[in-house]
C-alpha cells in the first residue's frame, strides 16, 4: 500500500473537519448541479470524516462511504445513517458493486494517489448507466500570501515540495479534464472552480495544521529538520498575530462531472 502523505493523527482528523466545513457550500452546489436526486445510491470515495456523505444524505441520497481509514469511516457512517466499506481505491476493484451507484463522488482523494487515472477508471466502473461521476480536487499552486511573506514561501517549499517528492501532483485539480480523457471517460460534461480568499488571521491555523501533518514525511525526505518544523510553527503563529490583514489565496477546488 502506498503511503498517505498527511498521516493519521487526531490532529489531522480535526483538520479534515475544518477543511470540510470550508468547502461545504462549493460541494453542495456541485452535487445539486450534477443532479443528485432523492433515492439515488451515492458513493463517497475517500469519505474521511463523512462531511460529503452528510450533504448527500441531506439531499435524500442513500449513502455509502469507502476509505482506508476505518476509524474515520465507521464514525462517518454512524453519523450520517450510511454504510461504510473499508477499502483501498488503488486496488479494490470489487469493493462495491460495478454499476451500483447513480452518483460516485470523490473529494481530495485523487491527489493522494500515485496512479489517479487507474482510480478514476475504477470509480467510473462503479457508476450506474445514466449515473454521474463527480470529482473535486485541489490545484494548490494558488496558495500564496499577498504580499508574499517568507513564512508562506517556506510553507510552499516544504508542503508542495514534500507532495512532489512523494510522486503526487499538487496541481491535479487543473489536470482533471486530461485525467478523465486518459481514463477513457472523454471530456467532463462540466467543470467548476471554487476558491477562497482569506486573510492570514483565518488561514494561519490551516497552514500550521497542513505543515504539521506533512512534517514527518518532509523530515524523512530531508526537506526539513525537527528544529525547522518547530521554527515554522512558531513563525506562522506569529504571522497570524502580527500580519492578520495579509490576504491569503487558498488552493483552488476544481470539480468535474461526467454522465455515464
Ligand X SMILES: C[S@@+](CC[C@H](N)C(=O)[O-])C[C@H]1O[C@@H](n2cnc3c(N)ncnc32)[C@H](O)[C@@H]1O
Q: Which residues bind ligand X (CB under 6 A)?
A: 4, 16, 20, 46-49, 51-52, 67-69, 72, 88-90, 107-109, 112-113
The secondary structure element, H or E, covering residue 242 is helix 226-242
CB of 119 to ligand X, least distance (A): 8
DSSP 56: H
Q: Which of 44, 56, 55, 48 is nearest to 72 (CA)?
A: 48
What's the rounded Cα separation, in Å, for the pair 63 and 83?
6
Residue 205 or 237 having the CB closest to ligand X: 205
What number of H helices and E strands is found in the chain? 9, 10
Closer by beta carbon to ligand X, 88 or else 191:
88
Q: Which residue is nearest to ligand X (CB)?
A: 48
Q: State the nearest-atom distance from the C-beta of 166 to ligand X, in Å.
A: 12
Side by side, the strands of the sheet bearing 41-45 are: 83-86, 62-67, 41-45, 101-107, 127-139, 252-259, 190-194
Cβ 5 to ligand X, closest distance in Å?
9
> Minimal distance in Å, beta carbon 242 to ligand X?
30
Give the residue with the Cβ less far from ligand X, 88 or 221: 88
Task: Specify the residue, 123 or 223, whose C-beta has the smaller distance to ligand X.
Answer: 123
What is the nearest approach in angstroms of ligand X to the Cβ of residue 13? 9
Q: Name the grid cell of 153.
A: 514561501
Nearer to ligand X, 32 or 242 (CB): 32
The nearest distance, CB 68 to ligand X, in angstroms, is 4
Buried b / exposed e over 88-120, threshold 16 CB at 10 Å, is ebbeeeebbeeeebbbbbbbbbbbbbeebbbbb
DSSP string, 10-22: HHHHHHHHHHHHH
Nearer to ligand X, 191 or 228 (CB): 191
Amino acid at each position: 500500500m502506498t503511503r498517505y502523505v498527511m498521516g493519521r493523527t487526531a490532529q489531522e482528523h480535526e483538520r479534515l473537519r475544518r477543511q470540510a466545513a470550508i468547502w461545504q457550500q462549493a460541494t453542495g452546489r456541485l452535487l445539486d448541479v450534477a443532479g443528485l436526486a432523492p433515492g439515488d445510491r451515492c458513493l463517497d470515495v475517500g469519505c474521511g470524516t463523512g462531511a460529503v456523505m452528510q450533504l448527500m444524505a441531506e439531499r435524500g441520497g442513500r449513502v455509502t462511504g469507502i476509505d482506508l481509514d476505518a476509524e474515520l469511516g465507521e464514525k462517518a457512517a454512524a453519523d450520517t445513517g450510511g454504510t461504510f466499506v473499508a477499502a483501498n481505491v488503488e486496488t479494490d476493484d470489487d469493493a462495491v458493486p460495478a454499476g451500483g451507484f447513480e452518483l460516485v463522488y470523490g473529494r481530495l482523494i485523487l491527489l493522494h494517489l500515485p496512479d489517479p487515472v487507474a482510480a478514476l477508471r475504477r470509480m467510473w466502473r462503479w457508476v450506474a448507466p445514466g449515473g454521474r461521476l463527480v470529482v473535486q480536487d485541489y490545484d494548490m499552486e494558488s496558495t500564496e500570501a499577498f504580499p508574499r511573506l517568507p513564512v508562506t514561501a517556506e510553507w510552499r517549499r516544504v508542503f508542495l515540495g514534500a507532495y512532489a517528492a512523494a510522486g503526487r501532483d499538487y496541481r491535479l485539480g487543473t489536470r482533471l479534464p486530461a485525467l478523465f480523457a486518459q481514463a477513457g471517460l472523454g471530456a467532463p460534461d462540466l467543470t467548476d472552480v471554487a476558491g477562497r480568499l482569506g486573510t492570514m488571521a483565518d488561514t494561519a491555523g490551516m497552514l500550521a495544521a497542513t505543515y504539521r501533518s506533512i512534517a514527518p514525511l518532509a523530515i524523512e525526505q530531508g526537506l526539513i529538520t525537527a528544529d525547522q518544523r518547530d521554527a515554522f510553527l512558531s513563525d506562522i503563529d506569529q504571522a497570524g498575530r502580527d500580519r492578520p490583514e495579509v490576504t491569503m489565496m487558498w488552493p483552488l477546488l476544481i470539480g468535474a462531472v461526467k454522465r455515464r
